[in-house]
Chains A and B, each alone.
Chain A
Amino acid sequence: MVNDIYYKRKYIISIIIVSVVVIFIIRLFAIQILDETAPEKAAKNAQLTQIIYPSRGLIFDRNDSLLVFNHPVYDVMLIFNEMGKNFDTLSFCSNLSISQEEFNERTQQIRRQKNRGFSKYTPQLFLSQLTKENISRLQEHLYLFPGVSIRKRTLRDYTYNSASHILGNVGEVTSKELENDSYYQIGDYCGRDGIEKVYESHLRGIKGKEILMRDSHGRIQGSYDNGRLDEPAQMGEDIQTTLDINLQMHAEELMTGKIGSVVAIEPQTGEVLALVSSPYWNPKDLVGRNRTKQYNALLKDPQKPLLNRATQALYSPGSTFKLLQALVCLQKQIITPNTKYACSGRMSTPIRCTHDHGSPVTLVEAIEQSCNPYFWCAYRDLLQKDGYGNGNADFKRNYKEWRNDIISFGFGSTFADSDIPQQASGSIPSEKLYNKIYGNKGWKAITIRSLSIGQGEILVTPLQLANMTAVIANKGYYISPHICRTSKDTTNRIHHSTIDSVHFDCVQQGMAQVMTNGTGKWYNVQELQICGKTGTVQNPHGKDHAIFIGFAPQDNPQIAIAVVVENAGFGSTWACPIASLLIEQYLTKNISRPELYNRMSNSYPKAEE
């Protein structure tokens, strides 16, 4: 080209063009290769991980009766953006049987909420936990209401209105649980109290997840990667409890209107057959929309129904403790079955006898008649067998040994290898305690004489009493009481008491005679071979508590039971008949004394007689 002096400028232009593209490619390299955060950000943008909740494991009784199951409830969800201008609010409300005002109030509430989850494009909870009946009309006409969907969830339901304490219930997780266990998310449910709490990790199952894609408006656009990364939920394990629901329900019925507890154990296995704390409530009350209201009502009740008296309430064992005194003294060779002590009835010192019987009495007769002086004398002889020694050392050593013997029956601490929640440990007073109260040398056998008949500083739970009964029934050992049979711990450890099995025969004999000749004779059922012992616990705050422990049949014990009725006076009038009826029910599946049954379940002890 002629006269083109700027010919070389094409190179400059080319260089500029090449440089720009090179800069772009370097920038692409930086964004796409060097920056590794983008895929993560992209995933956060586009993926919505939705949790699929597993259904909770079922709970059965020992005979495979279904106790706890899940029932579906329905939430009504609204997607505001899809409802449109022509949404027929009037018809929608009438299908749900709510008023227009309620509708307006609720929708405004959802929109007002400063919840991060609010979006016009995603389902918002409008009404929760509706029943099948509430929802059926809407379900039929759902096609008329764009943007309305129904979400199914499950709540706990109960076959029997029974065993509320031991089954526990299900409630929303607390912030503490959220912190401690990454399984939970806000709004999740988890077991509260009882089996639901103890076996939470078995019952809850494994959550599944579904990864959905959402667009820039938060609208769901189907599953991510054709659901390749989705995980199905795994249903929670079923739990078989050791409860016998019939026994449990009869026990609850008999405890109606009374304050107290019933604990029944299968002696050979330690399986808890029934565990009642009265007053109790209907487990269905703590489910669903009324849960909070009902729970608060229970919390405020002056009778403290939420307290599980069977495992948490502490009583002195009263006369039932005499059985242990007998066993320890036999073991320590202080007495033999033939040893006799004199009883002066009401004139006896330092402890008078409240029962009318001959004198002197043998051990079996003493148990039968619940003779106070007999056990005081035996106890005194036990503690003083080596004298007091220097600084009461010998006495204290014997006291310590006695205490260890008592503890070997499961007293003074919780059952560590048991799955029963909320156990109180109770207390068998230690040497230290008395040193503190009376000074190092200030206490002797006479000082602690109340212990001989199960009064004083000894505190036990009804569960421990039932376990003690099981030890006697088993002639020397127990397996920690437990409420569930799980695949993992089928064989619980055997705990041996310090007492040789030979010594149990005469104690059992005494207990059998309690039922035939003694304090329990009005409520005996001959063919059941019931062995029992009543107890009346002095209560400084009011009327005495009635206690009964027993097992049956004597030659092959199937059931060991402890019954405590608070403020009921003599053990023989309230606790013994209840135990007798329950033993009969369990062993024969029959109530042969319906009048007694009705009388016991329909009456309750007066505060003062």
Chain B
Amino acid sequence: MNKRNNIWQHIDWITIAIFLFLTLFGWLNIYGAEHTFEQTSLFSLSNRAGKQFLWIGISVVIGCIILLIDERTYDILGYWLYGMMIVLLLITPILADNVKGSYSWISFGPISLQPAEFAKCFTAIAIAKYMGKYEYKMRNIKDLFIPFILIILPMFIIMVLQRETGSALVFLSFLIPFYRQGMSGMIFIIGLVSIVLFVIVIKFSIIPAIIILSIALLVGLIAIWKQKKIYRLWAVGAYLCLVLFSSACNYAFTKILQPHQRTRIEVLLGMKDDPMGAGYNVNQARIAIGSGRFWGKGFLQGTQTKLKFVPEQDTDFIFCTVGEEWGFFGSSIVLLIYLYFILHLLTIAERQRDTFSRIFGYCVVGIFFFHLTINIGMVLGLLPVIGIPLPFFSYGGSSLMAFTILLFILIRLDAARINKLH
């Protein structure tokens, strides 16, 4: 009894306030995105805004339940939960119907859920449990191997068996807690170099990529000539790897990627202008957001929104509604609130006294940050079109519940941190 009182005292109400703000503002925008000319109620279950309100209610209940569950449950049951989730992910494609090419939705009567959305919660718990072990050292190759397996397994199932590229890519967000725990930053630099090389290879051809790499090698070799010989060998090795990677990119792009994926990348890189085809979403999103100007057109006044020019406007492209109806002013505020929210979660993660909680906190930060970056980057035309939701904003029960579970486990862990002293 005594302990529970403590926990309620230490709940981080700022996080809960932001959670409520984002879900409710998202709900208003779903109403706006769906709003046509027949006025329907905000609460009617026949439309998505009404359904979303129901999901928000359910999520709040789930959040309260999580706050009541002992935080040690996750540490204890971590692998079991992860194992059950993997089984569920494997079963899903068997039970699921084909929805726009993916096999990730399981229907229970009138409602459908997407297990892939919940997978990241349990993966986060499992990773936190594994890496939170006292003897765990990141520099150990074996210690790195297991966490990688933990994220690659669900990624593989979701991408290959369920055909949900977006949900699978989210697992890359676990690289952020890995980095925080000591994984070499080189991985990000290599990743960045890879992306740059990929873009150069796709946009121009493999020859300029190799020329640039050769010049880099030459400059590098001259710079480190006086140093140990082993560095020179490393440099040549890296050079050869990158050349190999460039040709692999070339091969992958032309032979492995589906034509529609290829087109999306080409449109993004400005190699193709296709406003009615692959570029349609992005072009319409840009028009919708751009037409909002500084103050926006006002709630329910967005013509592009009302008239459904942007597909998926209540789910992945929900930020268009914000851009059109609330303008630069409203959109910037929403982005700044997300920024504050994620930095605040980072602070929460940092103030944890046990490694499990901190790693879990970083997993939450990584997931939210990754979703925000990919989603907004896509809507603003900076990144290719990858269908992942904007946390708490996009329409959808599964994603909202999954984000709620992640957030409230962290709040519960944070509230209980005071007990860790003993």
Contacts and interface: CB of A to CB of B under 8 A. Distances in A.
Nearest to A40: B291
Interface string B319-337: 0000100011001100110
Interface of A is mostly: helix
B287 A42 contact: yes
Contact of B369 (A17, A25, A32, A41): A17
B290 A23 contact: no
A23 B335 contact: no
Interface stretch (B24-32, B152-160, B173-181, B259-267): B173-181
A375 to B, nearest CB: 82
A46 B294 contact: no
Contacts of B290: 31-32, 35, 37-39, 41-42
Interface in A443-478: none
A46 B309 contact: yes
Interface residues of B, number: 48
A1, A21, A35, A217, most chain B CB atoms within 10 A: A21
Interface residues on A, range: 35 or more
Interface in A89-113: none
A45 B304 contact: yes
Interface in A14-60: 14, 17-18, 20-21, 23-25, 27-29, 31-33, 35, 37-39, 41-43, 45-47
B380 A28 contact: yes
B302 to A, nearest CB: 9
Contact of A31 (B176, B286, B369, B377): B286
Interface string B277-305: 00000001011111111100000000110
Contacts of A32: 289-290, 292-294, 323, 327-328, 331
A222 interface: yes
Nearest to A1: B353
A310 to B, nearest CB: 58
Contacts of A38: 286-287, 289-291, 293
A221 B182 contact: no
A6 interface: yes
Interface string B162-188: 000000000000001001111001000
A43 B338 CA distance: 31
A224 B297 CA distance: 14
A176 interface: no
B336 A21 contact: yes
A221 B36 contact: yes
B346 A28 contact: no
B360 to A, nearest CB: 15
Contacts of A214: 307
Nearest to B296: A32
B107 to A, nearest CB: 27
B350 interface: yes
B77 interface: no
12 contacts: A6-B180, A9-B179, A10-B350, A13-B179, A28-B332, A31-B290, A31-B380, A38-B293, A42-B290, A43-B291, A43-B303, A45-B287
Closest 8 CB pairs of A and B: A38-B290, A42-B291, A215-B307, A46-B303, A32-B328, A21-B339, A39-B291, A38-B291
Given A31-B286, A221-B36, 6 more contacts: A10-B350, A17-B343, A24-B376, A32-B293, A39-B291, A41-B290
